[in-house]
C-alpha cells in the first residue's frame, strides 16, 4: 500500500550532550513526519514509517544513528504526526584539531577521578606511647593482651584513582585485550605510572559496558595507590628504613619483663611483598596523556567541524564561510 509522507521543516533538529564522558559526545537528532492514509491507526503507522525512519541509519563515518524513540500522535482522518529520536556516541575531535576516526591507535582519553579519603590498615606498633600510672614500657606495642599484640585499625594515606577511555570495539571488546586487563588485575606498576613510582599503584581492574549498537565502548580503569616511605619507623628501638607502598609489614616480638609486667619487645620488621608487578603498557593508555588539551578554534577547524556534522546528518548545506 502507498502512503503520503511529508518531512516537516523542523526535522533533524538536534543536540550534542557531553555531560557523561569528557572524550565522547552523545549526538541526538529528531526526524519529524506527517503520514496520511493510515486507517489502521498506530500499528499501521509504525509499520509504514520504517521506510522513512528506519531503526538504524549508517553515516559516511561508519557510525550508526540508533532510533531511540518513536512518537506517534493522531491528527484525525487517518493522519498522524511522527517524531523519531536518533542518537549516536561520537568521540570528540583530536587535540590537534584533526578528526578522530575508528583506527585502533586513535582512541581518546576520557574522564579522570581521584579520591584521597584514605584506607585502613592493621597496626601493632605505635610511633610513640604515653603511660599514666604505674610506669610500664611496652616499647610501642599496641593493645598488648597477655602474650599477644592485638593492634588496632588505623587510617593510612591511600588514593583511589580512575580513568575512563573511549575505545574502538576492536580493542575494548577483543579477547586479547580483555584477557590482558584481567591478568593485570591485582598487580602493581612495574614502571612509573602517572604520578606513581613503581610499586605504588595497585590495579583494581577495569569495566566496560557496550550498548550493542555503537562502534565505541567506554572502558573505566581503577587503581588504589599508596606512596613509598623512605623513612619508615615505628619506634621500639628499631632503625628507620624504606617501605614500598604495597609491602605488608609485620613485627616479630620477644617476650620481656618491665616493672614486673610481661611486655612484648619488637625485635624485627618483616616486609612481605604481596602483589606481583605488571606491565601497565598492556592497557594501551600508559603512553597517552589523560585529559584533553583544548585547542583554539580556527576558521578552518570550524569549517571542517561543520561539514562533518552536515555529512553526518545528511541534510545541511556545505559550509561556505571564511
Residues 115 and 79 in one domain: no
Domain boundary among 34, 66, 92: 92
DSSP state of 78: T
**Domain contains 306:** no
Residues 246 and 109 in one domain: yes
Per-residue pLDDT at 318: 46
Domain boundary among 40, 62, 92: 92
**Domain contains 308:** no
Residues 77 and 110 in one domain: no
Interior CA angle at 139 toward 134 and 144, to 5°? 75
* Total of domains in the chain: 2
Q: Beta strands 229-232 and 119-123: pairing type?
A: unpaired
SS3 label, residue 121: strand
DSSP state of 95: T
**Domain contains 50:** yes
Counted residue by residue, the chain has a size of 322
SS3 label, residue 42: helix
- d(Cα 85, Cα 65) in Å, to the nearest integer? 10
**Domain contains 322:** no
For 105-163, the pLDDT digits (tens) are: 557 666 677 766 766 666 665 555 544 444 555 555 555 655 666 666 666 678 899 98
Residues 108 and 204 in one domain: yes
Cβ distance 255 to 147 under 8 Å?
yes
- d(Cα 73, Cα 301) in Å, to the nearest integer? 41
Residues 170 and 236 in one domain: yes
Give pLDDT < 70 ranges for the chain: 20-23, 60-62, 92-106, 108-111, 115-116, 118-156, 212-213, 235-236, 257, 260-263, 288-322
Residues 124 and 263 in one domain: yes
Cβ distance 204 to 188 under 8 Å?
no
Residues 82 and 114 in one domain: no
Residues 236 and 126 in one domain: yes
Which residue is it, cell 562502534?
A: 215
Per-residue pLDDT at 282: 93
With residue 7 as reference, give the H or E element that holds it: strand 4-7
Interior CA angle at 240 toward 239 and 244, to 5°? 135
**Domain contains 261:** yes
The domain of 155 spans 104-283
Return all residues near 205 (Cβ < 8 A) that are at least 6 apart.
Answer: 181, 182, 185, 186, 221, 222
Residues 251 and 154 in one domain: yes
Residues 65 and 112 in one domain: no
Residues 134 and 32 in one domain: no
Residues 166 and 111 in one domain: yes
Domain boundary among 38, 66, 92: 92
Amino acid at each position: 500500500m502507498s502512503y503520503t509522507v511529508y518531512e516537516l521543516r523542523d526535522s533533524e533538529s538536534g543536540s550534542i550532550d557531553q555531560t557523561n564522558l569528557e572524550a565522547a559526545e552523545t549526538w541526538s537528532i529528531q526526524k519529524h513526519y506527517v503520514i496520511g492514509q493510515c486507517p489502521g491507526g498506530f500499528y499501521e503507522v509504525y509499520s509504514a514509517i520504517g521506510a522513512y525512519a528506519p531503526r538504524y541509519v549508517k553515516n559516511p563515518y561508519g557510525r550508526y544513528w540508533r532510533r531511540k524513540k518513536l512518537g506517534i500522535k493522531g491528527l484525525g482522518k487517518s493522519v498522524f504526526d511522527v517524531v523519531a529520536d536518533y542518537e549516536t556516541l561520537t568521540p570528540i575531535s583530536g587535540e590537534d584539531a584533526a578528526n578522530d576516526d575508528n583506527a585502533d591507535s586513535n582512541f581518546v582519553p576520557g574522564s579522570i577521578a581521584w579520591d584521597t579519603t584514605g584506607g585502613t590498615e592493621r597496626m601493632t606498633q605505635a610511633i610513640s606511647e604515653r603511660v599514666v600510672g604505674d610506669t610500664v614500657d611496652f616499647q610501642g606495642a599496641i593493645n598488648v593482651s597477655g602474650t599477644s599484640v592485638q593492634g588496632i585499625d588505623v587510617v593510612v594515606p591511600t588514593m583511589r584513582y580512575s580513568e575512563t577511555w573511549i575505545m574502538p570495539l576492536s580493542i575494548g571488546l577483543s579477547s586479547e585485550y580483555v584477557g590482558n586487563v584481567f591478568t593485570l588485575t591485582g598487580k602493581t606498576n612495574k614502571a612509573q605510572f602517572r604520578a606513581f613510582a613503581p610499586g605504588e599503584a595497585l590495579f583494581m581492574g577495569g569495566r566496560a559496558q557496550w550498548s550493542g549498537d555503537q562502534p565505541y565502548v567506554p572502558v573505566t580503569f581503577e587503581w588504589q595507590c599508596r606512596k613509598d616511605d623512605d623513612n619508615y619507623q615505628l619506634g621500639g628501638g628499631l632503625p628507620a628504613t624504606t617501605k614500598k607502598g604495597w609491602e605488608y609489614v609485620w613485627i616479630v616480638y620477644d617476650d620481656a619483663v618491665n616493672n614486673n609486667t610481661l611486655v612484648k619487645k619488637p625485635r624485627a620488621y618483616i616486609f612481605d611483598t604481596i602483589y606481583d608487578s605488571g606491565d601497565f603498557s598492556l592497557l594501551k593508555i600508559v603512553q597517552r596523556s589523560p585529559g584533553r588539551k583544548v585547542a583554539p578554534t580556527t576558521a578552518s577547524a570550524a569549517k571542517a567541524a561543520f561539514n562533518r556534522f552536515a555529512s553526518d546528518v545528511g541534510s545541511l548545506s556545505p559550509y561556505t564561510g571564511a
